[in-house]
Every structure is written in C-alpha cells, then in structure tokens.
A and B are shown apart, each in its own frame.
Chain A
Amino acid sequence: MKFKNFNFDFIGKRKIWFLISLVVILAGLIGFFVRGSFNLGIDFLGGSLMEVKFERDTSTAEIRGIMGDIGYDNVIIQRVETNMVKAESDRFIIRIKAEDSGDNVDGEEKDKILDALDSKIGLEGNLLQDRDVDPGFSSKLVRNAFIAIAIGIAGILIYVAIRFEFRSGIAAILALIHDVLITLGVYAILNREINTSTIAAILTIIGYSINDTIVVYDRIRENTPMAGKLGYTGVVNNSLNQTLSRSINTSLTTLIPIVLLLILGTTALKDFALALTVGVIAGTYSSMFVASPILVLWNNRFPKYKK
C-alpha cells in the first residue's frame, strides 16, 4: 500500500454513532420543550417590526419601559449586532406581534411609538426597517415552507431511489431528517429566531448534505459486485473509508466560507449562516454514521446482498 489507508470501523461501532445522534437530537428536543416553542419571527407569526437607531447607547430594559408607558407591554426587543468587530447597542429591533395589538399597528400608532422613543432617548435618522405582516399571510408562509420542505425531500427521495435503490433513498431521507432535527434543535437551544431565511437554509442543507451520502452510495454501488468474502457490511465499511477524505474535504471547503459568514456577517446573514453551518456538520456526520449503517441494518434484516 502506497498511501495511508483509512480503516475505521464505521459499521461495527454503529451503536455509538446512533447514540451520539440521539443525544444531540434529544438535547434539541429538551431545549424545545424548556422554551415551550421556537422563537418564530414575524414571517411566521405576523405583526409589525421596526428597526431604529438611537442617538446614544441604550438597553432593552429602557426601551421596554418606554413601550410599556404607552401601552405596549408585550413587545420583543432585540439588540442588533451589525458585526463581530463593532459591538453596537444603539440599534434595536422592536417587534409587536399581531395578536397583541389586535390588528397590525398602523402608521399613526407607529408614529406614537417613535415619538415616545424620540423624546425619551432620541432617534437618529429615519427607520432602518419597517415591516408589517398580516397574520393570515404568515400562516400561508408557514404552510408554503412545509410544502417546500416536503417537496424537496420527496424529490430527493425519488431521485435517489431511481439512481440507486429504494432503500438507499429511504436511508438517505432518514439521514436528512436527522440533519433537520439537529439544526432545529440548535435553534431551540440558542433561542435563535426562525424565519423564512432559516427555512431556505434548511432546504439548502437538505439539498447539500445529501451530496456526501451520494458520494458514499456511489462507491458502495461500485464495490458491491466485487464484494467477495467481505460481504455487504465489509463493502459499506470499505466504501466509507475510501470516500472519507473526500467527504471531509468537501465539507471543509464548504464550511470555510459559511463559518466566516457566521463570524463576520450581519445579524440577518448570521441567521442564514448558523443554519448552514450546523446543517453541513450534521450532514457530513449523518452521511457516514447514519445513512450507511442504516443500509447495512436493512440488509441484515432483509438480505438483498450477502451479509
């Protein structure tokens, strides 16, 4: 052998890998139940959002006090970090859910809020951002998000099932669901806002993290006819080892720019980058430690190839 050949026992230690996945998913679930729900943005709940810049640094508590004085007790106030380099605390996002104000706050109500903030703290310039989402519209967005994810997954299942085998498709989808659960879990634990960008990022993960799985499946398909005494388990394990460096390297090259985006980007870009980063890591893990061991388990149970 001329080069260092990897020889990890991926399949034999599958219980450990499954356990790790289970623990991470459970941690996310616990995070979800402790919080009670996801931190859903106005995309999904409807309501109004204003981003303001003050003349001086202030705190969420001070803004909350002012909002309370004019009758808005239940608002979400979020400090805006523009980037890692500059820790600003003069920019804030104020969110008023539609259900708190009956309908969305209209122009006059917003003027009232802005006047109050201006007289107490002092506003600089115009609004940076101003959004109103009708609750009916946001429920449609949620529905569309679910449809998009379902169609994305179904499309991939069909494609993989045609190109490989039906069981490969199912195993790949299980790995994808694993990735999505882990990503959502991280959002629940960190209490990060979930909005349409997050959904887009999740769909991208679905499309991307299947790549590693396909690289492995491709190799398994190539190696299966020459299985010999290795049996299917050996073929899968060897294929994983043969594709290991490419799985890791493709993930690394993808992770480099998105981790940089996570570090350098603005809040809105970070929303995206976080989901992508978690998803790519989970996807790389699942293609090696979830999708392929499932294939072996399936073959053990319903042998199609020699075990």
Chain B
Amino acid sequence: MRNKKVNVAIIVIFILIIVGCFYYIFRDSISNSIKLGLDLNGGTQLILKPIEEETGEITEEKLEYTIGIIRDRVDKLGVSEPLITKDNFNNIIVQLPGVEDPDNAKKIIGKTARLEFRLVEGTFVSRKGNSWDIVEFDYQNGELLIDPEAEETILIEDVNKFFQGESVPSTGRLATNPENNALVLLYPQSQDESDESINESNADEPEFNPEEIMGTLEYNNDTNEMFLVKDGEEIGEILIDSRTGAATLVGPALITGDELANAVAGYDNYGNIRVGLSFKEEADDTFAEITTNNIGRNLAIALDEEIESAPYIRVPITDGEAEITGITSIEEAKNIELVLQTGAFPIDLHLEESIYVGPTLGMDSLRYGLYAGITGLILIIAFMFFYYKGLGIYSMVGLLVYIIIFWGVISAIGAPITLPGIAGIILTIGMAVDANVIIFERIKEEILKEKSPRAAISEGFKGALRTIIDSNITTLVAAGALYFFGEGPIKGFAVTLSLGVIISMVVSLLFTRSGIFLMSGIPKMTTHSFLGLARRSGE
C-alpha cells in the first residue's frame, strides 16, 4: 500500500517546511532568531494581584483598563518591548526587558494613584506630662500608636502651628468607651474645662457622657481603613500624613483625580520641588467653592490614602490650580507626575513577586546549555550508529530535521525561550530519538520473523505507531498541566516541551518513515549488516 508517490510527496513537503524554517531562522539574523525570556536576557518582572476586598468585584473590564494604564506608565518610563499579560488567576504580569532598577519600576507601576482632596479635621497629638507628641497610625493593624503612658490625646487642627507654640484650639479628644472599649472621639472641652483637666492630670476619672460623642473609630480589617463613624455613617477617615507619619482625620473626598486635567513636576519660585495640578473646567467651580467656604483650614491632598501635602487655604482659589509640595526629590516628583498623568487604577494591586535578573546571569546558562545540547546530540548520534548501524543515518537526519523545524517554529511564533526551556529543549533532543529506537527495534523483530526487509519496515512502523502516540500523549498531558498551573518560566518550559514532543512525533512518523521506505528500494540499505543484525545472526 505504501505508494512511492506519497512518500516522495511527504519528503518534498518536509523539504518545503525546512526551507520555510530556514526563512524564519535567517529572517533577521541568526542570533535574533530566538526570543529569549526575561530570565535569560535580563530585566525586571513584576506580578501584581488585584485585591478583591478593596475594590469590589474584579471584572474583565477593570482588569483590561488597569493593564491599559500600566502600559501607559511603562511607555512613559521609556521601556522598549514591554510585555504586559494576565495569567489564569487574573494576576497581571509586567515584563520589562533590560530594566535594571526594579525598585523604581515597583513604585510607579503598582501604584493605584487615587488622588483625593479632603478637608483636614485635625491631627492626633498626645500629652505625657508637659510634652506633646504626634500619634502615628499603623494602618495594617488598625492601631493608633498612642504612648500607653499618655495622659490625653486630642485632635489639633493645625499641627505645625501647635508645635511652634501658637495657641491652636483642639477640635476633639480621644477616649475609650468603657462599655465596649471602642475608641471614641469626643467634642472638645471648653477652654477652661480643658485647662482644668490638664491641671488635674488624671486620665482615669473623666466623666463619660454619651452626648459628647462625635463618633466612634471603626477599623475595616479587609481594606485596612479606619473610619470615624456616627450613627452607622462614615463621617471621616484616618489617613497617614506621609511627611510625619501622623494620624490625621479628614473629611470625605471633595475632588478626585478624575477631575484632574494635568500634573507637572517642577520647582516653584522659591526653588522648592512641587507637582502642579490643574483641573478640568467643570471642576474649577467646585474647587473655587471649596476654597471659598473653607478659608483658614487645611486641604489635604491624598494619594492612595496617604496625605502628600495639606496646604493652608489663605484665599479662594479660582483658577483651578493646586500643588503638591514637601516632596524630597525631583525623581519622586516625576514619579508622582507620571502616575497622575496616566490616571488611577479602578482596582488596587498588590505586588506578589518581583524578579530582577542581570544581563550576564542568563547568558552563562544559555552558553553551557548549548554546550550540553551539542555534545549530547553528537553522543546520541554516535550511539545510534553504534547500536543500530546503518539505521543510525535515519536518526541523524531525523534529529537534524527535528532541530531545524523546532528552531523555525520557535522563531516563527516568537515563543520566548526561558531557562527551564533550555532544559526542555535538551530533554526533547533525547526524547526525539526514542521514537526511532521503538521503530528500529520493531523492524529488527519483524526481519527476524523472516519477513522481507520492505515488509518488515512496513510492519515495524505499523506496530510502533500506537506505542509512539500513546507514550507522547502522556507527556503532553503532563505538559498541559504545567502550562495551566505553572507561572512565567515554567509556562515557557511547558511550551517548549509540548512543541518538542509534537514536532519529534511528526518527524519520525512521517519524514523518517517515508525516508526509510524510499531508501528501502536500494538493496544496500536493507542488508542485515546495514540493519545492525549481522553481529547477531550466526550465519
């Protein structure tokens, strides 16, 4: 049934495929024909996980939008050929080839960049004896870090003036509700009353009057946010002042980053670093209204729930311009500019993993992997000639064809080779010969059953076919499991392994088979000594 024409056609098709592969291999230049993964070529990779609790349901749209913003930011950083993808678990994977400063990339790329303008209600300060100290806020545990020996904790509207010794009225005081141990904010005592209490300096006694309660401090464990709650309504939130670490009570967000028209980093007239903000026209009026109604108060500019600056409103601002000041370096200002220009994520992201690989590290692996691969190839071919004699020629040609096609396919689809992928390729070189071994052994068996060489070859392939397919499919099953549950380089390994298995199977079942059939027409190619049987045939 083995039609000579069919075999010739198969060989011709393979020759065409090989020519096609050579086109892809040499298309650019041979050294560029294979794309190297980040772990070989060097660069930075970040894996960011959307945090569900803080942002409600994570939808496909929100993720895509977020990826768009990340792409924008990466572009503005000037990274060439970034790769931003999503894995099966909705993690966002950002690959930045050649980026050598993962710290800076982390700061910019993962930042939610939610900008909010909120009125400052006050900053917490506590008193121990005659000294006053700011109260810090540990947002991760939801605790106000109040010195246990502090006698009282009050809310001060302008903490700077307060520490400069000016007289600033307090806007509230903190107490523990004896009923449920919750922290509550009480209305400030009248001037003489508070003087009295300082004189008494007795913290245990204060009479607790429920009427005085301004609100209760409630902490949300999932979102790490602490709110001031009155009658079930959030009337304020505690944020950290990034400059001092102080716990600051602010009102609701009045304007957000959505209203922002532009952000520009630079210096003000006094040479101080600033980021100038300008609003969209619609927001101008809102901004003017807020500043007009709140002269004498501080307006906090919060970025991702941290107060960047809290300017004092002296006069109404009607031109829709504001600025963030108190920035320590121009690089930081540029970072803020960048994240504000690209906008805020609709979801919060958490950095799960960051990898930086230097440019030299992977090259060693590549070089020694190549040595191992070439040496292995030569040894395998030598072994096949030694054991299967003349049949070894089919293994040699088959292996070379396999390598060319594998190379061509990898460069055509642009699949990057990762470090585990190198191991995968080297493994598949060994596995590619397995099919040959199975076929050759079968052919030998058939010949020993006194079959003619041609019949033996035909029977041998028939018998080996099922075995080869079965054994390769199981390897593909394992590679599939790796692909779906692996991450980054491991996925790369799964791809190279699967490609190798499929290509080697196609090469040995079509190309090698047709080759052997065609060659078996030549008498010299079917003698027992050529087939490696002479040694064992006692004749």
Q: Contacts of A121 on B, CB cut-off 8 Å?
A: none
Which of A9-17, A25-33, A152-160, A288-296 forms contacts with chain B? Answer: A152-160
> Hey, which chain B residues are within 8 Å of A184, CB to CB?
none
Chain A residues lying within 8 Å of B352, measured Cβ to Cβ, are: 133-134, 136-137
A129-B357, A245-B441, A261-B423 known; A214 and B470 CB under 8 Å? Answer: yes
Residues from chain A with Cβ under 8 Å of B438 in the complex: 215, 246, 250
Chain B interface size, as a band, is: 35 or more
Contact B369 A265 (CB under 8 A): yes
Q: How far is the CB of B162 from chain A (nearest CB, A)?
A: 30
Is A235 positioned at the interface, with any CB of B under 8 Å from its CB? no
Once the chains bind, are B433 and A264 in contact (CB under 8 Å)? no
Instruction: Kindly identify which residue among A128, A156, A206, A272 contacts B358, using a CB–CB cutoff of 8 Å.
Output: A128
Whether B368 contacts A266 by the Cβ 8 Å rule is yes
Instruction: From known contacts A3-B536, A203-B481, A206-B478, infer whether A131 and B356 are also in contact, taking CB-CB under 8 Å.
Output: yes
CB-based contact A255/B430 at 8 Å? yes
Q: Is A276 interfacial (CB 8 A cutoff)?
A: yes
Binds A, one of B18-26, B271-279, B375-383: B375-383
Residues of the B chain whose Cβ atoms lie less than 8 Å from the Cβ of A268: 365, 419
Total residues of chain A contacting the partner, CB 8 A:
72
Q: Which of B356, B373, B444 is the one whose CB lies under 8 Å from A257?
A: B373
**Which of these, A128, A218, A273, contacts B361 with CB under 8 Å?**
A128
Per-position contact with A for B331-369: 1 when CB-CB < 8 Å, else 0? 000000000000000000011111111101100110011
Out of B103, B426, B474, B497, name the residue touching A214 (CB < 8 Å): B474
A2 and B358 contact, CB distance less than 8 A: no
Given contacts A129-B356, A148-B482, contact A253 B433 (CB under 8 A): yes
Contact A257/B353 with A159-B474, A269-B368 known, Cβ cut-off 8 Å? no
Say whether chain B's binding surface is mostly helix, strand, loop, or mixed: helix
Query: Is B538's CB within 8 Å of the partner chain A?
Result: yes
Q: Contact flags (1/0) for B466-484 with A, using CB distance below 8 Å? A: 1100111111111111101
| Total cross-chain contacts (CB, 8 A) | 233
A210 within 8 A of B: yes
Whether a CB of chain B sits under 8 angstroms from the CB of A207 is yes
| Contact present for A134 and B350 (CB under 8 Å) | yes
CA distance A133 to B376 in the complex (A): 35
Given the complex, which residues of B lie within 8 Å of A196, measured CB to CB?
486-487, 489-490
B509 to chain A, nearest CB (A): 15
Whether the Cβ atoms of B358 and A129 lie closer than 8 Å is yes
Q: Take A127-B356, A148-B484, A152-B478 as given contacts and tell me if A197 and B364 are in contact as well, using a CB distance cutoff of 8 Å.
A: no
Is B420 in contact with chain A by the CB < 8 A criterion? yes
Residues B437 and A261 in contact, CB atoms below 8 Å apart: no
- Say whether A257 contacts B477, CB under 8 Å: no
A215 touching B467 in the complex, CB below 8 Å, given contacts A204-B478, A256-B376, A258-B427? yes
Answer whether residue B287 sits at the interface, using C-beta atoms and an 8 A cutoff. no
Measured CB to CB, the nearest residue on chain B to A207 is: B478
Does residue B422 face the partner (Cβ distance < 8 Å to A)? Answer: yes
A285 to B383 alpha-carbon distance, docked (Å) = 21
User: B423 to A250, Cβ gap below 8 A?
Assistant: no
Q: Are A260 and B376 in contact (CB under 8 A)?
A: yes
A107-B103 contact given A137-B47, A253-B433, A257-B373, CB 8 Å threshold = yes
Contact B493 A83 (CB under 8 A): no
Cβ-based interface call for A147 (8 A): yes
B3: interface (CB < 8 Å): no
Q: List 14 A-B contacts (CB under 8 A).
A: A82-B368, A107-B103, A128-B357, A133-B353, A137-B49, A196-B486, A200-B486, A204-B475, A208-B478, A211-B434, A256-B376, A258-B376, A261-B426, A276-B423
What 4 additional pairs, Cβ within 8 angstroms, besides A131-B354, A266-B368?
A: A128-B357, A149-B481, A211-B471, A269-B369
